[in-house]
Structure 1
Amino acid sequence: MTPVDLSTTVLHAVRRAVREDALRAPVPARVRVERTRPGGRGDYASAVALQLAGLAGLRAGEVAEILRDRLAGAPGVAGVEITGPGFLNFTLDAATGAAAHRDLVHRVREQGRRYGHGDALAGQRLRLGHAREVRAAVTADAVRRLLTAQGADVHLACDGEPDPDWARLGVGTEAYGMPQAEAPGAAHDEPRVPGAQAEALIRPVPAGDTAAALPARLGRDAARWGLLSVAGHDRAPLGPGLLAQTEANGLFRVRYAHARARAVLRGADRLGVAVAGPGEDIDATGAAGLLTLLDAHPGVLAGAARHRAPDRLVRHLDAVAAAFFDFHDAAPPLPVGEEKPSAAHRSRTALAEAAGTVLAGGLSLLGVSAPEHL
């Protein structure tokens, strides 16, 4: 069972309790579960009972007991315990967890860079407009990529004549001349694309630089990363730090993690270490955080598309990179010294490949390259 599976299981328990009138509270859109902290009990924990207690007019402990009764015997859950004021602590079935890890890694490797793409927006035709400014153009381009990855048919437009220098940042527009909205969220004139749904203009805080100057100073990749790395209401960091090959630079961390993952595969090939196949278990030593993030990737992509927020994907990729390095240090994927290749090395190599695949796919959606070597 993955964290996403567990979250869904808990959410079903909440719905069942409400349906049975044991709990009178609105059902949340999602339930958050997280790894148990040091000293805690079980594998995962959730504060959903504390979240619902006030709304239900009950103590958190009472809500936790209601949910525990409905979680007993759930597939993949070996035990549920209540701690503190009403935290739910989950112990997962080891066999089920191993199968989930195996299926997750195989799914990522099988789907490649399209892992996390979906059809939630299939059939939707959107006309996505943006202000005539370089950050707005790059943000709209990234949002278009995210929406398209979820199945939407997106028509990109600008509220003025596009700047030809946007092409230096990988941005192209299919139409222009969209009238500006009278206010945020206001409707536009009728869409020029038949059947398309018009949206309000994308207007992040301007970059304060031109489309010609940015790539000349930073290059396309660093410029795009800087423009997309924070929410639109914050000023984009566009300083020389984006070019520094240091741990302080998020772009370097993510691309270096991808390059290291690819290096693992090259090393495995040289040493004759075969990558674990679909039927082999995955050694999760040091990889709990990484597996959780890989499992969450489809949800992150869907959320970034839904909220028109590519910065969510930027933060997620940074977290995946950090988790990959933690895993790599805790359980080196390749044999060291006189160590002979084993099943553990095969499975760790498969996990490294999956991590690199997610990083490359995410960078692609941001319009940033993922080099094999740094």
Structure 2
Amino acid sequence: MTPVELSRTVLGAVRRAVDAGELRVAVPERVVVAPPGAGGVGDYATSIALQLARPAGQPPLRVAELLRSHLVDADGIAGVEITGPGFLNIRLDQNVGTALVRRILDEGAARYGHSDTLVGQVYVLRVPYEIRAEVVADVLARMVASQGARVEIQQQELQKDDTHETLDVRPVPAPQDPTPLGPDAARWALLHPAPSDRPRITADHLVQREVNPLFRVRYAHARTRAVVCNAADLGIAVVPGPEAPFLPLLTDYPRILTTAAPLPRLPRADAIAAPARLARHLVAVADAVLDLLPGTLPRGDEKPMAAHRARLALAEAAGTVLAGGLSLLGIDAPDHL
């Protein structure tokens, strides 16, 4: 179950509560779900009960209890707990994680997160003669193309194309030429900051240590490849299973790709920020998988078990997402560092 699907499930619970006369509110158009914050539990949390409490004329905890009763039996949900003043904390069925890992492994880096929802549409990105704008536009084009659309990049000095949807791409310019950093570090330096922030063109992006986010992403990918190769040498198969922890970040990846499209329906700043959002998402995936890897292979005389095979599958799936994301950013994902 992806965050979008879970959001729809929660929205359905709101509708059922309204239809049953338990809540007298206007059903919102969407419900935001996100990983739980401090004090939260489970895989995702939502504050929808707090948002509906005032218009419903009921305490937030009462609204949360009503919504919980409509959520606990929904497909893909293993449990719902209420924390704090009325946050709904949702634990997903472990089989959801198994199906997700299997899907990622089946589709691979070139297909997972991609869709054909925009097939037949054409978008025009207009950029000034400035390196950061050109790099951001290139990644936007890759992300939009991953959803099936065709993208053209034009210089803003040319006459505006009124026949297709157009977006002007003008992030804060780079303070200096980034090319001395090399192609990968230069791209990361331009893409990782928000488009409204001035990028740092410094040698920090070349440091081969964990303080460098680009290094962490590429290192995490290389480690997943190494672990899977080592497992193959030991005769341990990669088998998705519920014994591996669920990693919600992997379900967020397709949603991140869609934030760049359809361009005309998004505020300009939101669309242009899509490459930076993807870069930061890859850092979060890398940090999560690096925490998981130490317990992936058997240690000492420990015999391979189902848990090891399932963790291997999760590691390979995470590496697949990292490779796919780096490819969209135009950055190499080496198997060895």
TM-score by length of 1: 0.80
The residue correspondences of 1:1-374 to structure 2 (distance < 5 A) are 5-18=5-18, 22-35=23-36, 44-92=44-92, 97-113=93-109, 114-160=111-157, 177=158, 179=159, 188-191=160-163, 196-197=164-165, 199-210=166-177, 214-215=178-179, 217-276=180-239, 280-284=240-244, 287-288=245-246, 291-306=247-262, 307-308=271-272, 309-329=274-294, 331=295, 333-374=296-337
Once the two structures are overlaid, the 10-residue window that deviates more, 26-35 or 258-267, is 26-35
Q: Please tell me whether the aligned partners of residues 130 and 173 of structure 2 are also in contact (alpha carbons under 8 angstroms).
A: yes
Q: Please tell me whether the aligned partners of residues 7 and 30 of structure 2 are also in contact (alpha carbons under 8 angstroms).
A: no
CA distance in 2, matches of 1:205, 1:43: 36
Instruction: Tell me: CA distance 1:356–1:275, structure 2 relative to 1, closer, same or farther (3 Å).
Output: same
1:329-366 CA deviation, whole Å, 9 max, x = no partner?
3x2x2222222222222221111111110000000000
- Using the TM superposition, give the Cα deviation of residue 65 of structure 1 relative to its aligned residue in structure 2, in angstroms: 3.3
Instruction: Tell me: CA distance 1:103–1:208, structure 2 relative to 1, closer, same or farther (3 Å).
Output: same
Instruction: Tell me: CA distance 1:124–1:73, structure 2 relative to 1, closer, same or farther (3 Å).
Output: same
Once the two structures are overlaid, the 10-residue window that deviates more, 146-155 or 46-55, is 46-55
Instruction: Tell me: CA distance 1:244–1:305, structure 2 relative to 1, closer, same or farther (3 Å).
Output: farther
Q: Please tell me whether the aligned partners of residues 126 and 168 of structure 2 are also in contact (alpha carbons under 8 angstroms).
A: yes
Q: Which has the larger radius of gyration?
A: 1
1:264-293 CA deviation, whole Å, 9 max, x = no partner?
1211121111211xxx52422xx34xx111
Once the two structures are overlaid, the 10-residue window that deviates more, 123-132 or 312-321, is 123-132
Aligned residues: 326
- Aligned twin of 2:265: none
CA distance in 1, matches of 2:62, 2:304: 51
- Using the TM superposition, give the Cα deviation of residue 44 of structure 1 relative to its aligned residue in structure 2, in angstroms: 4.6
Q: Please tell me whether the aligned partners of residues 129 and 157 of structure 1 are also in contact (alpha carbons under 8 angstroms).
A: yes
Q: Please tell me whether the aligned partners of residues 13 and 70 of structure 1 are also in contact (alpha carbons under 8 angstroms).
A: yes
Q: Please tell me whether the aligned partners of residues 3 and 34 of structure 1 are also in contact (alpha carbons under 8 angstroms).
A: no
- Using the TM superposition, give the Cα deviation of residue 298 of structure 1 relative to its aligned residue in structure 2, in angstroms: 0.7
- Using the TM superposition, give the Cα deviation of residue 120 of structure 1 relative to its aligned residue in structure 2, in angstroms: 2.7
TM-score by length of 2: 0.88
Q: Please tell me whether the aligned partners of residues 124 and 161 of structure 2 are also in contact (alpha carbons under 8 angstroms).
A: no
Counterpart of 1:34 in 2: which secondary structure? coil
Q: Structure 1: give runs of 5+ residues left out of the alignment.
A: 161-176, 180-187
Counterpart of 1:128 in 2: which secondary structure? strand
1:280-321 CA deviation, whole Å, 9 max, x = no partner?
52422xx34xx1111111111112445232000001000000
Instruction: Tell me: CA distance 1:41–1:232, structure 2 relative to 1, closer, same or farther (3 Å).
Output: closer
CA distance in 2, matches of 1:19, 1:140: 46
- Aligned twin of 1:182: none
Instruction: Tell me: CA distance 1:141–1:41, structure 2 relative to 1, closer, same or farther (3 Å).
Output: closer
Q: Structure 2: give runs of 5+ residues left out of the alignment.
A: 263-270
CA distance in 2, matches of 1:84, 1:144: 42
Instruction: Tell me: CA distance 1:34–1:158, structure 2 relative to 1, closer, same or farther (3 Å).
Output: same
Counterpart of 1:155 in 2: which secondary structure? strand
CA distance in 1, matches of 2:151, 2:47: 38
- Using the TM superposition, give the Cα deviation of residue 37 of structure 1 relative to its aligned residue in structure 2, in angstroms: 5.2
Once the two structures are overlaid, the 10-residue window that deviates more, 255-264 or 119-128, is 119-128
1:229-248 CA deviation, whole Å, 9 max, x = no partner?
01111111221100001111
- Aligned twin of 1:166: none
CA distance in 2, matches of 1:17, 1:123: 40
Instruction: Tell me: CA distance 1:190–1:35, structure 2 relative to 1, closer, same or farther (3 Å).
Output: closer
The CA RMSD measured in Å over matched residues stands at: 2.3
